[in-house]
A = this chain, B = another copy of it.
C-alpha cells in the first residue's frame, strides 16, 4: 500500500454524501429513511431496521451511528509475531467487514467454491438483511508492546487505574484488539464476530466476548433513552450523532492531539458492570429514585417533568448518580455512551449474572472516563448495587476511507 486512495474510486467519492443518501433511500424498501448529514461527522444511515450503514468514512461507523438494538463484542489476543502476517489479517478483516456491513457474505464465491474447501462464509446470516451492522476495531495498550509499535502508543491510551470497588475478572479484562459488532439482528452481529475470528485463526484468538441483548443508550437527538436493567433511563444527555460540535470536542481525536495516526479516531472504554438486581429489586422506589436522582417512570431529573429537561443538580442528594456523573461535576468531562444490557446465565448462587456492558467513546480517556469514574467509584450511591467485573481500553483508529484503505493503515503502513 502506498496511499489510501486506491485505483478504485469509492462510492462516496463518486456520488458524495447527498447521492449516497439517495442511493440508500432507494435501497430501503418502504418506510422513512433518516439521513444525518452534518459534514463528515456522521455516516449516512438508513434508520429503518434492515438497512445498511456506510462502512467508509472519516470516522469508523458504530460510534456516532444511531445505536443499534444488539451487540456482540470480542477482545482478541495476538498470537503471531509476524508483522506482515498480522497486517495481512487486518486487510482481510477490512474486506470482510466491508462486505458483511453491506449484507454480503464473506468472499465472492462464498458457497460456490471447490468441494474440498471450507466455505468462505459460515452461512448463518445468509438471507438476513444488513440490519445496520457496524464493525468497529480498536487497539489495546498491550498491542503496542508488539511489532515494534512502542513509539506509536498514544499518550491518551493510558492503562486504567484501579478504582475503588473494582473486582476485575482477568478473563474478562484487557485484550490486544477488539471488535465491536452492533446490529439490529443479533444473528448478524454474532455472525460478523465469528467470521472475523475464523479469518484470524492462528494469528489472533478470542480473549473474551460479550453479547449485549438490548441497548441502553441513544445517539439519536431527542429520542427516549432505553431503560437499563435497574429499570431506569441513564445517560439521557448523551452526545447525539448529529451534534458535530460536541463530537469534535469530546469524541474525535483532533490534529495535534498527539499521535497523528489517531486523528479522526477515538478512545473506547469497556466495563462489564454486574448489577446486584436481586438486592436492587428489594429496595424502595424512593431509595431507587434517590440513588439515580431521577424518577423511574419518566426518567426526569429530580423536580423536573421530562427526561430531557435540564437537571438541577443541587436538588439531588449529594451522592446521586446523575449529579456525580454530570459534566458540571467533572470539569465538563463528557463521554459518548453506547452500552448494552447483558444476562449470562446465573452466578451459581441462584442469582442472574446480569448488568450493563458499558461502552464509552471519548477524545481522551484522561479527560473522559477516568475523572468521571474516579468520582463515581468514590461517592456514587449506586455502588451498593453494582460491581465492575471486567475492563478494557482501546485506541479506535480513524475510519477506512475508501475501498483501497484498511483498518489500522495509519498505524501500520510505513508510508503513512
**Chain A residues with a Cβ under 8 A of chain B:** 70, 72, 77, 111, 113-119, 121-127, 171-172, 185-187, 190, 193-194, 197-198, 201, 205-211, 213-214, 224, 226-232, 277-278, 280-286, 288, 296-297, 341, 343-346, 348, 350-352, 354
Q: How many copies does the complex hold?
A: 2
Q: Which 4 A-B pairs have the closest CB atoms?
A: A123-B231, A205-B350, A115-B286, A186-B213
Closest to A283 in B: B118
> Which B residues are CB-close (under 8 A) to A70?
213
Q: Interface centre among A118, A121, A193, A232, by most B CB within 10 Å? A: A118
Task: Decide if B278 touches A123 in the complex (CB within 8 Å).
Answer: no
Question: A181 → chain B, closest Cβ, in Å?
Answer: 12
Complex-state Cα separation, A288 to B231, whole angstroms: 44
Which partner residue on chain B sits nearest A125 by CB separation? B227
Q: Which residue of B lies closest to A215 (CB)?
A: B187
Q: Are A224 and B116 in contact (CB under 8 A)?
A: no
Q: Which residue of B lies closest to A185 (CB)?
A: B214
> How far is it, in angstroms, between the C-alpha of A352 and the C-alpha of B210 when the chains are bound?
10
Query: With A209-B346, A343-B190 in contact, do A230 and B124 touch (Cβ < 8 Å)?
Result: yes
Taking the closest CB of chain B, its distance from the CB of A385, in whole angstroms, is: 12
Q: How far is the CA of A285 from the CA of B224 in the complex (A)?
A: 46
Task: Please give me the residue from chain B that is nearest to A226 by CB atom.
Answer: B187
The answer on a CB contact under 8 Å between B206 and A296 is no
* Given A127-B224, A186-B213, A190-B214, 7 other A-B residues pairs in contact with their CB atoms under 8 A: A118-B281, A122-B231, A126-B297, A127-B227, A187-B227, A197-B352, A211-B344
Q: In the complex, what's the smallest C-beta–C-beta distance from A294 to chain B, in angstroms?
A: 12
